[in-house]
Each structure stands twice: as C-alpha cells, then as structure tokens.
Structure 1
Amino acid sequence: MRILLIDVDSLRPDHLSAYGYHRQTSPNIDQIAKEGMKFTNYYTSDAPCLPSRSAFMSSRFGIHNGVVNHGGTTSQFRMDGPERGFQDKLANLSLPGFLKNQLDMNTVLVSPFAERHSAWHFYAGFNEIYNTGKKGMERADEIAPVVLDWLERKGAEDNWFLYVNFWDPHTPYRAPESYGNPFEDEPLKDFYTEELLEKHMKAVGPHTSQELYEYHSNQEEGLPRALGKISNFEDLRTFIDGYDIGIHYADFYIGKIIQYLKDNNLYEDTAIIITADHGENQGELSIYAEHATADKGTANIPLIMKFPNVPRNSTNTGLHYSLDLLPTLAEYFKLDVPDYWDGESFLNSINNAPSQGRNELILSQMAHVVQRSVRFDDWLYMRTYHDGYHLFPEEMLFNLKEDPYEQNNVAQEHPEVVQDAVYRLMKWQDEMLSTLDAPYTDPLWMVLQEGGPLHAKGSLPNYIERLRDTGRGWAVEELKRRHPQEFKHQ
C-alpha cells in the first residue's frame, strides 16, 4: 500500500473550504475530502510545533514523552533509560518505525522540522530523509519539486509511506507578491468587526495586535503580507488575507502532487492523509499570528483521510487526538496496538459510529503559556499556570457552541461545569502520573521551575517598557505582581 501524509503547518480546519469556510482556500484539498472522511473534532494533545509532532509521531502524551516546551529540559524526548536495548523504542514504535517494521514500508520524509527544533527523534524510523534546508521558511514552490522528484524516481514502487511538510500558513506569511490575492474582493468572517479590533488593540501580551511577532511591531523585511501590528481594519484584512493566501498557496502545490499521482495512475491506489501540527490563533483570546494557547484555535486541526473502505464525502464529529492516528492505522492493518502508545484507535468511529470518540480531551500548551485545558461536550475549560504575560485568569470556561471564538469567559456563571472539568483534568493527571517511570515527574512543574515557557522566559522587563510606550502601562503593576522572579536581578 502507498500512503501520502501531508502535514501543513499551522492549518486551521475552519479556514479550509472543505470545512465550510466561505472563501475557497483549498480547492485541491476539498476534492480529497469529497473522496474520504473529514474530522471536525480532531485535536493535538500538546501544542505547539515540537510538542505536537512529538506526541503525534510517538503516540504518547507530552506528560509521558517529556516534550512540552520549545526549550529547556522539557524540549527533549525522554530516554528509555536502563531498559533501553540495542535500539530505543522509537526505532520500532514511532509512526514511521512501526510502518517500516510491521508492514515493510519504505518510509520517506520531506521536511526541515528536525533541524528547525533540533528534534532529532523526529527522524526515528525513516529510511529516506530529505531536509529542504530552510528550517521552516520554505515556500511550497521549494518543497513540491522535491516531492515530485521522489515520486518520479520511486512513486511507482509499492508499499511506501511519504510524509511531506508544507509551511505556508505559518507566520510570517510568505506567499510571493506575484501570487496576488485571490480573496481581495471577499469579506472576512462576521466575527471580525471594528469594535472587536478596538478591544484587541488594548490587549496585553506577545502576539496581540500591537506586537504580532512576540514583543515588537517590526514588519518582516521583504514580506509585505507579514505585518508587524494591526492598527486598523485594513491591516486586519491584510493579515487575515495573508494567512488564507498561505493556505491557498500550499493547496496549489498540493494539487500538483495530486495531479502527478493521477497522471501516472497512482492516485486510486494511494491512501492520502491531510493534517497539521496545530492551528493558529486568529483573534481567540486576543492573540493573532501564533499558536500560543491550549484552546480550540491552537489545538483543533484538520484530518482528512482518503483510504480504501473509508466512507466517501463523510464527516466524523467524535473527539479524537492526533496521537490516536497511529493506533488507528495499526488496527486498520490488523496489527496489535502496543501498550507503549497512549493513543486509542478510532477505526470503529470511521466504520460504524462517526459521532463517537473520547469523552474528553486534555490539551496542553507550555511553550508560550503554561496551560492545560479540557475539551468536552460544548465546553472548553482552561487552567493557566503561567499566563505568558497575557493576564489570563487562572480559570476560563467557554461554550464553544455559542462562542466558537472564545470571547466570553463564563466560568463564574457555570461553577458546576467548572467543577466537572476540574475533576476530569485532575483524574487524567493522576492517571498519567501513576504511569510515569521514576525519576520523572510532570513536565509542567519543570517548565515553571526552569523559569517558564521558552517564548515568555526572561522577556518581561523589556516588554514592560514597550507597554508604557504604547499606552498600556495600566498592566505593568499586575504583571510585576504575577511575575516577581523576572525582576530579581534588576
């Protein structure tokens, strides 16, 4: 069997026309969705990039594999320790390692991701590795030729797994000016209003409208779509258009790969998976241009599967983790599911019960903030341990059915839902910690002990000066109160 997995970095499902977006951002992906199943409640367990792909490839939560941050001790995959044999577990139990060893597949990677994050464990199990060389700054026109070259040489062979990364929806939005703007005459979502922008312009924290790229408003040189800040509604439109054009640009080159498969009689016999590592905040919690929280905007990702026997043009609404995909593939191929994996197969949800899934999902983010959240029923409960300088309250609750963009914290109005969510979170944490091998502990506490999430660590003193200079000095004393350790050496 041939399997093509396309991982589009920072891709939100609700910005794909396949998922009902009013702009036609993804005509080629849409066609694949019509021939397979799309999943609407598919989430990464651990965001953002490095934790997400580590969990996905190992089918293990960050609390188990150790990778929850973008730096420090908790950005490194945990070693097997004294029980390690001649090879470690990832050699055989990672996604490519499992397919290679159990199904004798030729496993192939086209991605710069391991170099981008020094995530060398990401290579585990691949036979062939093509590093496109720009650490995630590649455009689709630089990646697709590498893929097409491989397909020309080896695509006709049987039994391969080809994993391809595209990066165009990831900030900074870099589709060339010559590509134009397919959406210049199309409106934004009704969610975006002048009143909303006025509110967001007063927000505090990195990647808010006044500092789209962490703690400054400097525009990326040579990237006119990548604004440094959003000062008016026209800027907002330019920003959202830039993200959507990035999706459209990646989709255009995905179409070239699909067309090659069709022209060479490979398409019908190739299983295709379209997914992402995480989404992208586009106004949720006042954050733009980043995957910075443990919420729906960041953690909800697309999954489209065109496989033999998967129902055509169908939708799956069950709650699933991305780390559930590996056990699902194992069951699909009638292979045993190792105890090492945290994931659970959702094959039955594909074949018989598309509305069934897990009772709840626990979502973690520890690279920009330190949060754990619970996604269940219509609810998203968020618990914050380090606010990343956003002044988030300790507890937030959102009704995603009524408030899909997380604008109204209703924790005070629904204490019974908060209590239920806290119970679910504590139960999950107890179960996870009971299966940790000594001397490991919850990496959440290690992140806090090492000074906080990487993208906030040590940045507050300089940021306070910017807040004062931009009319947001009202937040300074509260930030100092919350983060006194940042000023110990001042």
Structure 2
Amino acid sequence: MKIILISLDTLRASRLSGYGYGKPTSPHLDRIASQGVLFERAYAADIPTEVAHTGIFTGKVGLTTGVVSHGSDLTHLPKTTAWLPNMLRSAGFTTSAVDNLYQLKEWFARGYRYYMNSVGGNRWIDGKTVNGLAMPWIEQHKEEDFFLFLHYWDAHTPYLPPESYIPDFYESGRDPYDPANKSMEKAYNHMAYPFFKHHHYDLVGPVTDGAYYNALYDAEIRYLDDRLKELDDHLNALGIQDDTLIILFGDHGESLMEHDIYWDHCGLYEPTVHVPVIMRWPGRIPAGRRVSGLVQQVDLLPTILEAIRSEAPQGIDLAKLEDPSGLDGRSLWPAIKGEKEGTHDTVYLSECAWQAARGIRTDRYKFIRTYDSGPFTRPPRELYDTITDPEETKNLAVVQHELADQLEHQLEQWVACKLAGRKDPMEIQLEEAGLPFRKRINQILASAGLTWEDWKKDPRRERFDRAVQTVH
C-alpha cells in the first residue's frame, strides 16, 4: 500500500475551478477530484502553517495539543504525543518527506526514515524542486509499502510564477505599473507594510494594480497544478497510480485584499479557513463523489488509519495503527461512501500569529471573537450569515446580539472543555510574549529606527521607506 499526503500550502479553495472558480487554475486537480472525492466544505481549524500541520499529523486541534501559535518560541509538542509518521514507521511503512517544516519546529521531522529538506532556491520552494526530490525516491521505493509527505509552497508569497503563466489570468493590455491606478495604496499604507515590503513587494516590483497580485496568485496555482500533473504522470508511468491513496489538502487559504488583509493568511474568514481537500484511491473511493457537509483537517489522520486497516497490507502491523486516544478528528470514510455528509455539525476555529482570535463555524453562521487584533482594526465580536452574506461583509453581532451571545457561549464552553482546567495556551502566549508576528514587525521597524507605537501613529509607506534610507 502506498500513501502520498500532499500539502498545498496557502491554497484557497474558492480559487480552484473545481470549487467553482471561473478561471482555469486547476485542470489536473479537477481531474483527480473527478476520479475520487472532493470535500466542498473542508476547514482549517487552526491557522496558519505550524498549527495546521501539527493538527493534521496528530488528529488533534491546537487546544488539545497545546500548539495554538505560529512562529512562537513558547510552543512545544511532547514526544509522547501520537504522531502519524511515527505510527506508520513503527507499523512497517517506509516513511519519507519532501518538506522544510523542520526549519520551523523539530517535531515535523519525527517518524521519517527519509527526510529531504526542500529549503533553498531563488523562487522560495519551487514545485520542480519538490518533484525533483520526490520522483526518484518514489521510483526507488515503488515495491514497498510507503508513506510520503510532500509539501508544495508555490501558492505562498512571494508570488513569482514563470512569466508564461501570467497572461491567462491578467487582462491583456492592462498595465500593472500604471501610476494612475491607486488600488495598491491601502496595502502599501497598512500597518503590516514593513513585513511585506521585505518578504513580498520588493521581490515583485513597484506594482500599482492590486488585480495584478491576484493574477499572480492564480498563475502560481496553475503552475502548481502542472507540477502535480508531472507527479501523477510519474505514478502512472511506474504502474503504481492505482495502488496509491493520494490525499491533497490546503493547510490554509489566502486573503486577496478582503477584510483589509493583503495577500496573506490571517483572519478567520472564509478565504483563509475554507481549504480544498481531495482524495483519490482507484477502486476504493467512488469516482466523482462530492461531500457537502462540514469536515476539518484533523479528520485526515483517522481516515488514513482506517484506510490502512481496511486494506490490511501484508507486513504491516495493524495493532500499531489503532486510533490514538483523545482524537478530535473523525474518519471521513462514512462521508466518502455516501453514508453521511460531513463529520461535524460545527467547526471551531483559532489563530494566534498576526492576530489572536477564535471562531465557530456552523452550517450557516460564523462567529469570531478577537482578543488581540495586532496590526488590524477589528471589532471584538463578529457574526456573519454565510448563506446570505458569503463574503462576510455585514457584521450582525449587534443587531442579532442574542445569537452572537449564544455562539460565544458555545465557543467558551468548548474551549473550557478542551482545556480541562489547564491554562489557555493562547492566553499564555499573549501574556508572556505577545503576538508572534508583532515581534517580526518590531524587528524590522527597529532596523529602520522606528518603534511599534511610533509606527501605529503614522503607518505610511513613504515614511517607512525614508526611515530605511536614513538608517542604511
């Protein structure tokens, strides 16, 4: 049995043609979905990258593991915590990864016999780099029962797709550097500008048209789709495509100027927390199945374990693949088989990086409670009717305060139940170190001779650029 788990970092569900997008960003992903199952409403319960992947490999949300912050020096995952690659290796699978999350936290390398660090290169981490490491490894181990984790970063900033991919997504004759276009002004004068100037804007160039950035994001997805086709064609050429359970997921999405978020993945709004999940396993997963109910990323671990137990491959010790205790995830197999829709009536959401907030997503409503808004302006409570207001533009928290109160109480009860008397790790983070990404901005501001409080009073692009020139 062969399992390939693929993380499509920063891939927003609504930007894929298989999820209703009108542009041809994902023809091969659509083909894979047509051969298997697509989950229409899959959610990242914890964002962004560090906490999302920790949840996927443990089957537990952040409040269960204690890992709720991204990029924090305070977080630690005990080695006693059940970890999917550890379980699979101990059961007899050959385990491997093409990934660079080890650069972030040591636990992401646990359980792999082969760990190929993909960090480096001029284009962040190019999908060609991932394939260049993964495809020879697959060929060498094609006769074995293996688990392979692949982490593609192409849709993550900075958006630097090959130029040949851009024309399909950017209007012909339109000038991305037109000085008369002012659509980038809010982004360039946002409080987070110092961070994105260094990590994104300077790498792309003096763009004035916000639509050009959105086109670059689409072009990155299309480029990624071609890399996935290369990988899939390789499986077919080796004769192992039909034997391989392939699972593709977005760890979080991306906001493309919505909610004052400019090409980044924070905020518990749909662009960031609604992610794609697609699975294919010929002969075991019915082709063309679409699941409409709520599911979440932590459901992947028990789904993989059930798949292995049902297949019962020779040489694999199934006794070591029982579901760990305390899982928050539930197997997706009843939904895959059409016995039910989804795995959860409610998904609880959390973030602690740029902002600190928690939320609750029901079939219809989204409630968000913000504890620290970081460089953003946020009301403490937000309530959205996602059916009548799918873009979450009308905050109903005041006019429907009884419903907001009810959902906030439900959220608080869930948090208390998960903590079971422990102190809230988000509270510890905010008290002891503050928001992790505020520290990053502070470091950049300090290099320019500015302080956070000083910058808050007058966050203008020109002012920061002058300060940088003065210091350097």
**1:345, CA displacement in angstroms?**
2.0
Corresponding residue of 1:107: 95
Corresponding residue of 1:65: 65
**1:330, CA displacement in angstroms?**
2.0
Q: Structure 2: how far apart are the matches of 1:44 and 1:336? A: 24
Task: Check 1:96–1:238 CA distance in 2 against 1; reply closer, same or farther (3 A cut).
Answer: same
Task: Check 1:10–1:228 CA distance in 2 against 1; reply closer, same or farther (3 A cut).
Answer: farther
CA-to-partner distance for each residue in 1:172-215, whole Å, 9 max, x for gaps? 11223354432234999xxxxxxxx989955xxxxx46349643
Q: Structure 1: how far apart are the matches of 2:285 and 2:172? A: 34
- Residue pairs, 1:230-245, within 5 angstroms: 231=208, 235-245=209-219
Q: Which amino acid aligns with 2:394?
A: N
Which secondary structure does the structure 1 equivalent of 2:360 belong to?
Answer: strand
Task: Check 1:462–1:245 CA distance in 2 against 1; reply closer, same or farther (3 A cut).
Answer: farther
Q: Taking every aligned residue pair, what percent have the same amino acid on both sides?
A: 28
CA RMSD of aligned residues (A): 2.7
Corresponding residue of 1:215: 194
Which secondary structure does the structure 2 equivalent of 1:456 belong to?
Answer: helix
Q: Structure 2: how far apart are the matches of 1:375 and 1:303? A: 18
**1:70, CA displacement in angstroms?**
2.7
Residues 1:433 and 2:419 are matched in the alignment: yes
Residues 1:339 and 2:315 are matched in the alignment: no
Q: Which amino acid aligns with 2:222?
A: H
Task: Check 1:130–1:416 CA distance in 2 against 1; reply closer, same or farther (3 A cut).
Answer: same
Q: Structure 1: how far apart are the matches of 2:287 and 2:45? A: 27
Q: Which amino acid aligns with 2:62?
A: G
**1:469, CA displacement in angstroms?**
7.1
Q: Structure 2: how far apart are the matches of 1:446 and 1:73? A: 12
How many residue pairs get aligned? The number is 434
TM-score by length of 1: 0.82
Q: Structure 1: how far apart are the matches of 2:248 and 2:429? A: 32
Corresponding residue of 1:463: 455
Q: Structure 2: how far apart are the matches of 1:237 and 1:389? A: 23
The range that moved more, 461-470 or 8-17, is: 461-470
Corresponding residue of 2:48: 48
Tell me if the contact between 1:68 and 1:74 (Cα under 8 Å) persists in the aligned partners: no
Q: 1:143 aligns with which of 120, 130, 135?
A: 130
| Structure 1, unaligned runs of 5 or more | 80-87, 189-196, 203-207, 472-490
Residues 1:152 and 2:152 are matched in the alignment: no
Task: Check 1:410–1:288 CA distance in 2 against 1; reply closer, same or farther (3 A cut).
Answer: same
CA-to-partner distance for each residue in 1:364-407, whole Å, 9 max, x for gaps? 00011000000002111000000113120100011122222222
Task: Check 1:287–1:221 CA distance in 2 against 1; reply closer, same or farther (3 A cut).
Answer: closer
**1:3, CA displacement in angstroms?**
1.1
Corresponding residue of 1:83: none
**1:28, CA displacement in angstroms?**
1.2
CA-to-partner distance for each residue in 1:289-325, whole Å, 9 max, x for gaps? 1111123221221100102422211111221220111
Q: Which amino acid aligns with 1:151?
A: I
Task: Check 1:373–1:186 CA distance in 2 against 1; reply closer, same or farther (3 A cut).
Answer: farther
Residues 1:444 and 2:439 are matched in the alignment: no
Q: Structure 2: how far apart are the matches of 1:252 and 1:461? A: 45
| Structure 2, unaligned runs of 5 or more | 175-180, 310-320, 443-451, 464-472
CA-to-partner distance for each residue in 1:140-182, whole Å, 9 max, x for gaps? 122211111212322x213111111111110111223354432
Task: Check 1:356–1:111 CA distance in 2 against 1; reply closer, same or farther (3 A cut).
Answer: closer
Tell me if the contact between 1:219 and 1:227 (Cα under 8 Å) persists in the aligned partners: no
**1:244, CA displacement in angstroms?**
0.7
- Residue pairs, 1:81-100, within 5 angstroms: 88-90=79-81, 93-100=82-89
Q: Which amino acid aligns with 1:444?
A: M
Corresponding residue of 1:485: none
